[in-house]
Amino acid sequence: MAIDVGPMRRFGRSYGRRQLRVAGLSLLLVLLLAGPGTGLLAGDLPSTNLQGYGIKIFHVESGLYPFVQVYLRSFDQNMQPLVNLNVQNLGLMVAGRAYHPEKKQYLIQSISNRAEACRTIVVIDTSASMKGVPFESTLKAIARFIDGKRPQDQVAIVALADNKDGYELVSNFERDPASLARRLADLEASGGSSRLYDAIALAMQLTMASGAGGATSDDADYAASTSIIVFSDGKDDGSAVSRSDLMTRISNLSVPIPIYSIAYTNVDLKFLKNLQALSKNSFGKFYDVGEAFDRMTAVLEEVQNIFRNDYVVTLRAYLPVDGNEHRLKLGIEYPSGSGKFRYETARFETLEAPPLGKILEMQTRLDQALPRLPDNNPYMANPFAPTLLVH
């Protein structure tokens, strides 16, 4: 049974933290504007020693508890998404105990079949060294990317600029392709300097916005993932933020923000290593298009395909509501039947969801897809599980 409850994530974990501070309509407003909470544990390492593949959890949402949603991206050794993931090659453990897939207490869906948005910030190098075919190809590729996005997907545009900040916010998050196209068309490659790192730092700040999307707050939406795409030769001129600063910020993020770099240069190839390092450290991907500028469009199509192959795992949890955080582990067996899993650890809170109409409606729909087991036991039987010895 196909279930789409993505938009209800806006009610999120913040309810439990704010329930003593707000009431009535104020509570509802806070809930509607609350951004997604992270499910990553401090100190946990993502599955990066790939040997062929890995996974990265973006966040975990338990605002519809006992139903929990886990948002993840999978990748092979070339940072391409794994396809056709299903319950049979997915391993799930909650509070240290493994779920039995045949008990049908969790399901996995591609984000492409759900209502959540994917958010993208495009950073464009507008220095004079980009003038001509490279810049024209950049604008053409971005325009195709915008035309190819889903209606709910959101794009923001940051351009390097000769001003006190070193950048210009050309467009905040926007869904309307026509509006984005108009702002894109106004850009020119005429800058005298390239404060690239400052512009990327702004893009990272934009990813922290709690809401995004339409022309008014009424139709704002929330994103399953946010990524940054950079078009540049990698050369930086006098940014207030250094590459080392950016690398530290990326490493300290609780929610991963992948950077996809589309690199080309007629200056010096050594600068491309700057973009390569940022992409690698952020679980993004580095593309060196050289002088094959027409390849930019195909590269962005590939990046868009990565976004659309993210997954959402929805599970029914059986832990009592205690307001605490509990660990879960999610793993992928790939190839199927190999017995080799890559696991990622995350956490979720057991909070009683507010009894609001839409929340109750979503919980009812999930209850139909993941009906409660009579014995409240979704776990596998393990004859080797530790037992408590009684003397």
- pLDDT tens track for 356-367: 999 999 999 999
pTM: 0.80
DSSP state of 162: S
CATH number of the domain to which 137 belongs? 3.40.50.410
Phi-psi region of 165 (alpha: psi -120 to 50; beta: other; left: phi over 0): alpha
Residues 6+ apart with CB under 8 A from 254: 38, 40, 42
307-322 per-position pLDDT tens digit: 989 999 999 999 999 9
Centre a 10 Å sphere on the Cβ of residue 214 and count the other Cβ atoms it contains. 16
* 252 in the same domain as 351: no
pLDDT at 105: 97
77-118 per-position pLDDT tens digit: 888 888 888 888 889 999 999 999 999 999 999 998 888 888
Rounded distance between C-alpha atoms, residue 193 and residue 185, angstroms = 21
Domain count, the chain: 2
Bigger pLDDT: 128 or 159? 159
DSSP state of 127: B
Cα 156 → chain centroid: 15
* Sheet strands (E) in 8-147: 53-64, 67-76, 90-94, 97-98, 106-110, 117-124
| H or E segment and range at residue 203 | helix 196-206
* 34 in the same domain as 134: no
* 198 in the same domain as 329: no
Centre a 10 Å sphere on the Cβ of residue 103 and count the other Cβ atoms it contains. 15
Does the pLDDT at position 166 exceed 80? yes
* 274 in the same domain as 167: yes
**pLDDT band at residue 42, thresholds of 50, 70 and 90?**
very low
Task: Give the max Cα distance, the chain.
Answer: 82
250-288 per-position pLDDT tens digit: 999 878 899 999 998 766 778 889 999 999 999 899 999
The answer to whether 197 and 241 have CB atoms below 8 angstroms apart is yes
The answer to whether 329 and 344 have CB atoms below 8 angstroms apart is yes
The answer to whether 315 and 92 have CB atoms below 8 angstroms apart is yes
Q: What SS3 state is found at 365? A: helix
Q: 311-316 and 106-110 as β-strands: parallel, antiparallel, unpaired?
A: antiparallel
* 122 in the same domain as 106: no
Q: What is the domain extent for residue 23?
A: 6-110+312-369
| Within a domain: 176 | yes
pLDDT at 12: 38
Q: What are phi and psi of 84, to 5 degrees?
A: 60, 35
Residues 6+ apart with CB under 8 A from 132: 189
C-alpha triplet 188, 117, 367: angle, nearest 5°: 180
Burial degree of 41 (CB within 10 A; 0-12, 13-18, 19+): middle
Mean pLDDT score of the chain:
81
320-364 per-position pLDDT tens digit: 999 999 999 998 887 777 777 888 899 999 999 998 999 999 999
* 354 in the same domain as 299: no
| Within a domain: 262 | yes
Mean per-residue pLDDT for 58-70? 92
Centre a 10 Å sphere on the Cβ of residue 374 and count the other Cβ atoms it contains. 6
